[in-house]
């Protein structure tokens, strides 16, 4: 059985976007494409309706490319348990209120037992300073959160 990986919106956005002139973003885009071509088949990939909604926003052509990539992925349901966990992540200040949708990404991946949550959102999701608080809130609900990481961290050997 392959490990399960939840793709947060930034991953598909970096994968499908035109090359950025910003050196850091361009490097993240390249790493994402490398991961996609070399590693993605080692995982069962998932996203959620939240990812679909976020990916559908913005430029119509870019949104179409993102949605084409996401189309074959299963969509775990955004359950009441996930909504409650997301609220509690915000209430406990593990995730700031302004980033409540980021809390929902974490909650959906956690409630559905994902092994990994793949993201380039290092401000509110893949952030070492919030990791312990996220783990504590998830644990209080009886869940173990997924490993939250960037594609670079999941490149393997």
Instruction: Give the pLDDT means over successive 10-residue stretches in the chain (157 positions).
Output: 97 96 96 96 97 96 97 97 97 94 98 98 94 96 97 90
Q: Say which CATH number the domain at 80 has.
A: 3.40.50.1010
What pLDDT does residue 68 have? 97
CA-CA-CA-CA dihedral for 117, 119, 123, 126, to nearest 10: 40
Which pLDDT score is estimated for 22? 95
User: Which of 75, 82, 100, 54 is CA-nearest to residue 145?
Assistant: 82
pLDDT for res 157: 74
- 100-103: long-range pairs with CB below 8 Å, 24+: 101/50, 101/54
Supply the pLDDT for residue 154.
94
Instruction: Give the per-residue pLDDT at 9.
Output: 97
Domain that holds residue 46: 4-154
Q: What is the pLDDT of residue 61?
A: 96
pLDDT of residue 49: 97
Q: What is the pTM of this model?
A: 0.95
CA-based nearest residue to 30, from 40, 18, 48: 18
What domain count does the chain have? 1
8 Å CB contact between 86 and 65: no
């Amino acid at each position: 059985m392959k490990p399960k990986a939840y793709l947060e919106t930034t991953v598909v956005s970096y994968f499908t976007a035109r090359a950025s002139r910003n050196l850091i973003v361009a490097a993240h885009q390249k790493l994402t494409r490398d991961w996609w071509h070399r590693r993605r088949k080692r995982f069962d990939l998932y996203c959620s309706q939240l990812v679909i909604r976020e990916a559908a926003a913005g430029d119509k052509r870019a949104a179409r490319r993102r949605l084409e990539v996401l189309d074959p992925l299963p969509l775990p349901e955004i359950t009441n348990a996930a909504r409650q966990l997301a609220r509690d992540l915000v209430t406990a200040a593990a995730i700031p209120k302004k980033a409540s949708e980021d809390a929902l990404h974490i909650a959906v991946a956690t409630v559905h037992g994902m092994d990994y949550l793949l993201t380039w959102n290092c401000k509110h999701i893949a952030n070492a300073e919030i990791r312990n608080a996220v783990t504590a809130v998830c644990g209080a609900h009886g869940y173990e959160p997924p490993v939250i990481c960037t594609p670079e961290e999941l490149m393997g050997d």
